[in-house]
Amino acid sequence: MAVNLLDFDLDGLAAFCDALGEKRFRAVQLFRWVHQKGESDFERMSDLAKSLRAKLSGVAEVRALPLLSEHVSADGTIKWLFDVGAGNAVEAVFIPEAERGTLCVSSQAGCAVGCRFCSTGHQGFSRNLTTGEIVAQLWFAEHRLRRRLALAGGERAIDNVVMMGMGEPLQNYAALLPALRTMLDDHGYGLSRRRVTVSTSGVVPMIDRLREDCPVALAVSLHAPDDALRDALVPLNRKYPLAELLDACVRYLERSPRDFITFEYCMLDGVNDAPAQAQELVRLVRARVPCKFNLIPFNPFPASGLLRSPRERVLAFARVLQDAGIVTTIRKTRGDDIDAACGQLAGEVQDRTRARERLVGRRASIPIVTRPEAPR
Ligand code: SF4
């Protein structure tokens, strides 16, 4: 099979070109054609030497992901579903905002972490995406949107990428790293390190690796103020408990392009949304990790058995954090009319019965500890 040029960061492409007897500046030209201009036809890469075009044809290609569907929400959010083979599909979501465009990118087909509140986690794990499959989501979205919005040359449609789609990116580190480098490369997408965010459920050793290899903004899925509840919601916590995770966050900040960690916190009715739990959170992080909180309204799906926290409860929770001096935002729900919550569409096209069975068996042993609460 032909080599997929989307699999390479610039150094990788230079090594590939070197093997073809071509100099590094040719790799730079090729990289710019592919990522900056969105070109996949070597014959149209007009300033590329004819000899190189001839060498590339037949041995290399720019392999896009087959598009299964596109859903456009009334609020402008766009969700693309891509076929990654063997009955698997992954999603990328574009979220337009006044000042910027954000793309949420997937790193795995399914996910092995199995967070209790996550639709992707309920589907089980199929496989890691390749670098080319991760980059292909951005390549497709950026150039489709540029054409659709008729942007002038050099104008970007996407200036913010969050690795928050399907999968745990730090469990697919080997593919993630060249993808991040391509996003950041000035000859690629030229994104700022502050505008590329890796979101993790807390793979502590790989947080340390990312700090050394390619520090970008970091978001951590926290979801609970103590180990007992987090063990139940995010099973990875049993391997890397809160104290270890927070220490890794502090170490990460030594190299991070931002001076805070974003903690994601999915608000689950009667599970983790009590004011007392907000106070516990304050005690956990204040004076330890400079951070912001992003409270996420849960997107219910039937298999979860969980409910979205009422709005007033979320506001009360946010007030406790804000009163303690912690910057706290409440994520706007976007794309509700197109099931934009991670994993919801992909789950519908997958036949993952056995994975689901295994997961259901595993989950049965994970009790959710709900807190006694005053009646509301
Ligand atoms: S929240 Fe993230 S890490 Fe947890 S199961 Fe879903 S995709 Fe995986």
pLDDT tens, residue by residue, 286-311: 999 999 999 999 988 888 999 999 99
CA angle 10, 13, 18 (to 5 degrees): 125
Atom of ligand 1 nearest to the CA of 234: 4
Ligand 1 atom at shortest distance from the alpha carbon of 120 = 6
Ligand 1 pocket residue status of 113, Cβ below 6 Å:
yes
Q: Is the CB of 111 under 6 A from ligand 1?
A: yes
Q: Which of 154, 115, 162, 86 is nearest to 350 (CA)?
A: 86
Give the whole-angstrom CA distance, residue 189 versus residue 180: 10
Cβ pair 282, 320 in contact under 8 A: yes
**Once rounded to an integer, what is the mean pLDDT over residues 241-259?**
98
Reported as a single tens digit per residue, the pLDDT across 226-243 is 999 999 999 999 999 999
Question: Side chain identity at 320, as an amino acid letter?
Answer: V
pLDDT single digits (tens) 25-34: 999 999 999 9
Q: Please say if 118 is a catalytic residue.
A: no
Instruction: Give the whole-number percent of the chain exceeding pLDDT 70.
Output: 89
For ligand 1, the distance from its centroid to the CA atom of residue 21, given in whole angstroms, is 43
pLDDT of residue 371: 40
CA 169 to ligand 1 center in whole angstroms: 9
Per the annotation, the verdict on 99 as an active-site residue is no
- CA pair distance 105, 83, nearest whole angstrom: 14
pLDDT of residue 99: 80
Closest ligand 1 atom to 118 CA: 6
The predicted model gives 85-92 an average pLDDT of 96
The structure tokens 């197109």 sit at 338
Q: Among the options 104, 115, 214, 342, which is catalytic?
A: 342
The tokens of 2 are what? 């032909």
pLDDT band at 100 (very low <50, low <70, confident <90, very high): confident
> Per residue in 150-172, pLDDT tens?
998 788 999 999 999 999 999 99
Q: How many Cβ atoms are within 10 Å of 337's Cβ, its own excluded?
A: 12
Question: 108, 113, 233: which to mutate for ligand 1, most atoms within 8 A of CB?
Answer: 113
Long-range contacts made by residues 352-361, C-beta under 8 angstroms, separation at least 24? 352/87, 352/110, 352/123, 352/124, 352/126, 355/110, 355/123, 355/124, 355/125, 355/126, 356/122, 356/123, 356/124, 358/124, 359/114, 359/121, 359/122, 359/124
Using one digit for the tens of pLDDT, what is the confidence trace for 13-70? Answer: 999 999 999 999 999 999 999 999 999 999 999 999 999 999 999 899 999 999 999 9
Q: Is 201 in the pocket of ligand 1 (CB under 6 A)?
A: yes
Quote the pTM value. Answer: 0.91
Asked whether 22 lines ligand 1 (CB < 6 A), one says no
What does the pLDDT average to over 100-114? Answer: 96
Give residue 304 CA to ligand 1 midpoint distance, Å. 13
167 C-beta closer than 6 A to ligand 1: yes
Q: Is 101 in the pocket of ligand 1 (CB under 6 A)?
A: no
**Which atom of ligand 1 lies closest to the CA of 111?**
8
Where do we find the tokens 């690629």?
Answer: 188
The pLDDT tens digits for 170-188 are 999 999 999 999 999 999 9
What pLDDT band is residue 372 in, cutting at 50, 70 and 90?
A: very low
Query: What local confidence, expressed as pLDDT, does residue 365 receive?
Result: 37
Q: Kindly tell me if the per-residue pLDDT of 364 is higher than 80.
A: no
The predicted model gives 341-353 an average pLDDT of 48
Residue 336 in this model has a pLDDT that exceeds 80: no
